[in-house]
Chain A
Amino acid sequence: QKVSVRVLDHLEQLALVDFRDSEGVERLQKAIQFADQLHEVNTDGVEPMDSVLEDRCLYLREDDVTEGNCTKDLLENAREKVEEYFVAPPGNIPLPKLEERDTFLQGS
């Protein structure tokens, strides 16, 4: 079963990376095929495992401020900033639809 262009488009929007070319799409197809082998295994009655440390309690510390005041250090690595703000282009603008986007999927 090939992945539909609609799903591929959806993935590009979710992941915010693009398939770039047919090789990228092929790669996904192969990855899915590979993963399908999982279904050979009988997992009836088996609980999913999140962590190998599931039998232990997570460490929780007191809710006290012990460090901070590192605004300057943190802003050092940002390319665009104004005073103490990271600057982003306007939000709330969805990615253009498939037909208008510069993506390989357009040709499919």
Chain B
Amino acid sequence: AALKGRLRSQVSAALKEGRITPTELCQRCLALIKSTKFLNAYITVAEETALKQAEESEQRYKRGQPLGILDGIPIAVKDNFNTAGIETTCASNMLKGYISPYNATVVQKLLDQGAVLLGKTNLDEFAMGSGSTDGIFGPVRNPWSYSKQYKEKSVPKSHSEDEESNWVITGGSSGGSAAAVSSFTCFAALGSDTGGSTRNPAAHCGVVGLKPTYGLISRHGLIPLVNSMDVPGILTRCVDDAAVLLGSLAGHDPKDSTTIQDDFKPFELPNLTDFSKLSIGIPKEYHAPGLSSEILALWSKAADLFKNAGAKVVEVSLPHTRYSIVCYHVLCTAEVASNMARFDGLEYGHRSDKKESTESMYAATRREGFNDVVRGRILSGNYFLLKQNYAKYFVKAQKVRRLIANDFVKVFRSGVDILLTPTTLSDAAPYTEFIQEDNRTRSAQDDILTQAANMAGLPAINVPTALSERGLPVGLQFIGRSFQEKQLLTVAKWFEKQVQFPMIQLEEVKRHDNGVFQHQKSASFS
């Protein structure tokens, strides 16, 4: 089970000892990507360059000089990160065929560590959406749709019909990355998180999704959505792996002036033993309308787990939570209106054939290049930024943002270390059901538990917790203090160990992956 190993404790050792080579690892992942093509998780698979990177890594291991834990490790990157020489599309016609001349800083860092870049993953167009259903390459399918666990629980109408019509969404917008990690085609993937885009699909796909503190990881090369909230996200199969990735990505980048200048030291996660000084806050407003009773029960059980271990568990209040979606709606559309202005067809991307005037060419290019969701947000954003609306909407939203951020400050100041909340309102919806509502409505519903952390810039992580009655993953979210990722991940790691989330049972994976190390069978939390 080479593909199922943990980075620090298993895969790295296996590579060093030569029990498996980077090339073998890369080939297995590439083969698995091919046989799970129906998931539509990848937009571009960089087979040639990946094998070349794997070969180079192998040479380093032979010389006994690997660059680090990530040397030779196959990873995937969401298609809104610039990757030199590899197409970057943002799942939009506007950037179809765009080959970036540079690597995003986070991509460069991974490559410098010897990671093997398998390809670019699918997303909602320009990361706008919560289902990974609205990109030009089509929707991403949740690997759990094809799991033994889900199939056992679903009532088949007829054998051939159920798989085709029953599949569930990954959540979004980093759905491709979540699906790629969940289906074992890579060990880690980069996503982005502006309103929950890493944590939401992580919850639905049963993987760990980390949103770091704003300012910790460079956004240089991440095609921006909301400059004041965007962060690169990390998706892995266990919390420890997320810490490894964080260690190689965090730190000041002179090319991104919004990264803090404090020294960042990569860390290993200790085992949590002393709970006497730990205070967990349960924000009552996160018991949002529409929260499934299953998730509510899991949330409660989780709180008890901490209480029984000796931690202080208290109910807290974040009174402005219910305004975070409205606030986000205004700030996001306003920043989008500004960020999307760069797409005019002149220097890169799609260009219309219209030649009458610069303006008419721009207008036609943008009409042809953007989907309805993107155009809708640009128009709304421009409305809120009109002179007569600016104070009423944009500045007002900025004020509400401060209130939301202050809610968190107050709670953390009162002695709470970590907040425990659900990540999503329910398990993944079937695609046919999801598309009944429009993108904006869905985003408003689905982002409700994740968005506020982006408002306040706080670190947050989804930890897969249990399977729902339908056999689909459900996760819980931990939110920490700014730049206290070590504490956040330490608590998350302990929780992960307690819940023993079951491994996905996928036919395809079984076929491609055979014994390099053992993996444990475990009882599940629910």
Contact = CB atoms under 8 A, between A and B. Distances in A.
B228 A46 contact: no
A65 to B, nearest CB: 14
A53 interface: yes
Contacts of B397: 35, 38
Contacts of B393: 35, 38
Interface string B334-355: 0001000000111111010011
A19 B375 CA distance: 8
A3 B438 CA distance: 21
A108 interface: no
B363 A19 contact: no
Contact of A78 (B333, B348, B360, B399): B348
A88 B367 CA distance: 17
Main secondary structure of the interface of B (DSSP, over half): helix
Contacts, number: 184
A58 B260 CA distance: 8
Given A38-B397, A52-B215, A86-B347, A15 B357 contact: no
A19 B381 CA distance: 13
Contacts of A78: 346-348
Interface string B373-393: 001101111111010000011
Contact of A35 (B257, B384, B438): B384
A84 to B, nearest CB: 12
Contacts of B333: 31
B132 to A, nearest CB: 21
A79 B354 CA distance: 13
B68 interface: no
Query: Interface size for chain A: under 10, 10 to 19, 20 to 34, or 35 or more residues?
Result: 35 or more
Contacts of A48: 395, 398-399, 401-402
Nearest to A52: B457
A34 B326 contact: yes
Nearest to B356: A89
B366 A17 contact: yes
Interface string B391-424: 0110111111111010000000000000000000
Contacts of A12: 363, 379
A11 B402 contact: no
B346 A93 contact: no
Contacts of B356: 89-90, 93
A24 B370 CA distance: 13
Given A43-B403, A52-B228, A89-B356, A74 B376 contact: no
Contact of A79 (B330, B351, B358, B383): B351
Contacts of A32: 380, 383
B440 interface: yes
Contacts of A37: 323, 326
Given A47-B402, A91-B357, A35 B329 contact: yes
Interface in B78-115: 98-99, 101-102
A31 B20 CA distance: 54
Contact of A53 (B260, B347, B378): B260
Given A52-B214, A86-B347, A46 B457 contact: no
B396 A38 contact: yes
A59 B379 CA distance: 33
B400 A41 contact: yes
A56 B258 CA distance: 10
Contacts of A76: 99, 101
Contacts of A80: 351
Given A32-B383, A35-B326, A89 B358 contact: yes
B361 A88 contact: yes
Contacts of B252: 59
A90 B376 contact: no
B270 interface: no
A11 B382 contact: yes
B370 A17 contact: yes
A86 B358 CA distance: 12
Contacts of A11: 379, 382-383, 386
A30 B372 CA distance: 15
Contacts of B257: 58-60
Nearest to B363: A16
Given A38-B327, A51-B228, A77-B348, A27 B320 contact: no
Interface of B: 98-99, 101-102, 214-215, 228, 252, 254, 257-261, 320, 323, 326-327, 329-330, 333, 337, 344-349, 351, 354-363, 366-367, 370, 372, 375-376, 378-384, 386, 392-393, 395-403, 405, 438, 440, 444, 456-457, 482
8 contacts: A10-B386, A14-B382, A31-B380, A32-B383, A34-B329, A48-B395, A88-B358, A88-B361
Given A43-B399, A59-B259, 11 more contacts: A14-B386, A17-B367, A19-B379, A35-B384, A38-B393, A38-B396, A51-B258, A58-B257, A74-B101, A76-B101, A93-B356
* 6 closest residue pairs by CB, A with B: A52-B457, A48-B398, A93-B357, A77-B348, A73-B101, A43-B399
